[in-house]
Structure formats: C-alpha cells, structure tokens
C-alpha cells in the first residue's frame, strides 16, 4: 500500500446496522485478496479471502465483493456489533509471487456505537 498520510478513513455505525468498508487496489496482476481485522495492541486477524475467479464470497456475517473492472474490493459486515470495532485492512497479491508478499491498504477505522 502507498502512504496516504496519517489520517485513516473512518466509518461510524450503530449497533445492528450493516457496515460496508471499501478498498481500491492498484495492481492489475493481483488475483488473491484478503480482509484483515486489527484490534488495538494486536496483530491483524484473518476475516475472509477471495480469489479473482470469484466476485462474491460469504462468511459468517461477512461478505466480500470483488470488482476487477474497477479494481475495487469491499467488505460487508451484517448486524454490526461493538466487538467489530477495529481497523480493517485489505491486502492483495499476484498469485505467482510468494505468499509473504501481500500488499496492504492503509486501513479503515470502524467504530460501532451501542
């Protein structure tokens, strides 16, 4: 990910609402995408992933959508809970490179109000 300054995008929602977090990626060769959640003082935690041969994938309360035409990725969280408050990162990699070489976005701060 490129440096875009010190101010992360933020999203504030009420408990029970649905949340949508967006990510634009830059590498047309990327074909594997991951969403991570990072709570304060902890390392990133895997949420869901998607390969470029899919445009949608669902998990438990989460859905990832991939639009390769405009290089856009989104994470939808259903019935958002206070425990979902965290920083969310998207990551991308071309499948031909080593898996350690993920490129991360800058992150989005999600705050869920009770």
Partner 1 sequence: NAGVTQTPKFQVLKTGQSMTLQCAQDMNHEYMSWYRQDPGMGLRLIHYSVGAGITDQGEVPNGYNVSRSTTEDFPLRLLSAAPSQTSVYFCASRIRDSSYNSPLHFGNGTRLTVT
Among positions 10, 12, 95, 113, the unique one binding partner 1 when judged by CB under 8 A: 95
User: Which of positions 8-37 make contact with partner 1 (CB under 8 A)?
Assistant: 8, 32, 34, 36
User: Which of positions 52-81 make contact with partner 1 (CB under 8 A)?
Assistant: none
Q: Is 98 in the site for partner 1 (CB under 8 A)?
A: yes
Residue 33: name the closest of 90, 76, 77 by CA.
90
């979902």: which residue's tokens?
84
């994938």: which residue's tokens?
57
Stretch that binds partner 1, among 13-21, 41-49, 53-61, 65-73 (CB under 8 A): 41-49
Determine the 3-state secondary structure of 83 from DSSP.
Answer: helix
Q: Is 45 in the site for partner 1 (CB under 8 A)?
A: yes
Enumerate binding residues for partner 1 (CB under 8 A): 1, 3-8, 32, 34, 36, 41-46, 49, 51, 89, 91, 95, 98-107
């Amino acid at each position: 990910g490129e440096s875009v300054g010190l101010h992360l995008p933020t999203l504030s929602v009420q408990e029970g609402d649905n949340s949508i977090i967006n990510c634009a990626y830059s590498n047309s060769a990327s074909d594997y995408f991951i969403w991570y959640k990072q709570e304060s003082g902890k390392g990133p935690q895997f949420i869901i992933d998607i390969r470029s041969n899919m445009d949608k994938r669902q998990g438990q309360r989460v859905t990832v959508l991939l639009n390769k035409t405009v290089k856009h990725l989104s994470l939808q969280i259903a019935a958002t809970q206070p425990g979902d408050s965290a920083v969310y990162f998207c990551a991308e990699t071309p499948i031909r490179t080593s898996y350690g070489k993920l490129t991360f976005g800058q992150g989005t701060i999600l705050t869920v109000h009770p």
